[in-house]
Amino acid sequence: MVCLQTEVIDYQAITEAVRSNQCGAVCLFLGTVREFTQGEQTKALVYEGHPILARQLLTQVETETRDKWPVHEIMLVHRLGHLDLGDISVAVAVSSAHREQAFAACQFAMDRLKEIVPIWKQEHWADGSTEWVHPSQAPLSPLGRGAGGEGDPS
């Protein structure tokens, strides 16, 4: 299942949604808004995405993950809108018979989501400036902002 939402992500509900008596493993990844990115202080993030294309590509990530691993259930949830420090921006939950499969599938799904899903974020820095970034861009330069970059919360 995939979801884009503006509401707070309920990671406990997501975890319960993928749990099953058929599975010995549940892996949950949460991306959260952190305070510092490459030494720059973040005050908040704003996420925007193309709703139709983002849902289609989240579904593609789900399909690709299921094709590679024996996943029982998977949930990919990304939040849009304004997020404060500590807020959860993305959740990926996977259940499988064994932990190795659940870990690998969860990592693949999160990496693939960041690679192809059209969701951008606007960093709101402590100095009052802002910067739009897409997760697939190269990391920030060691000199700080302005070189493009990820600075993502996960």
pLDDT tens profile 64-95: 999 999 999 999 999 999 999 999 999 999 99
Strands 2-5 and 71-79: parallel
- Residue 75 is part of which domain span? 2-133
Task: Report the domain count for the chain.
Answer: 1
Q: Is the pLDDT of residue 13 over 50?
A: yes
Structure-model confidence comparison of residues 136 and 20, the more confident one: 20
Residue 139 lies in a domain: no
Render pLDDT for 93-139 as a digit per residue (tens, 0 to 9): 999 999 999 999 999 999 999 999 999 999 999 999 999 986 665 34
What pLDDT shows up at residue 129?
A: 94
- Residue 154 forms part of a structural domain: no
pLDDT tens sequence across 37-64: 889 999 999 999 999 999 999 999 999 9
Segment among 3-7, 19-23, 74-78, 131-135 with least mean pLDDT: 131-135
Q: Which residues are 131's β-sheet partners? A: 123
SS3 35: coil
Pairing of strands 71-79, 88-96: antiparallel
* pTM for this model (two decimals): 0.85
- 135 to 13, 16, 26, 35: CA distances (angstroms): 26, 28, 25, 17
Residue 92 lies in a domain: yes
CATH code at position 58? 3.90.1170.40
Residue 37: which residues within 8 A CB-CB, separation 6 or more?
123, 140, 151
Asked if the structure places residue 149 within a domain, the reply is no
Sheet holding 25-32: strands in order across? Answer: 2-5, 71-79, 88-96, 25-32
Phi-psi region of 105 (alpha: psi -120 to 50; beta: other; left: phi over 0): alpha
Model pLDDT, residue 29: 98
Look at residue 140 in the predicted model and tell me its pLDDT: 38
pLDDT of residue 116: 94
What average pLDDT does the segment 139-153 reach?
Answer: 37
Q: How far apart are CA 9 and CA 87, in angstroms?
A: 9
Amino acid at site 24? G
The answer as to whether 123 is a domain residue is yes
Question: Looking at the predicted structure, is the pLDDT value of residue 32 above 70?
Answer: yes
Q: What pLDDT score does 135 carry?
A: 62
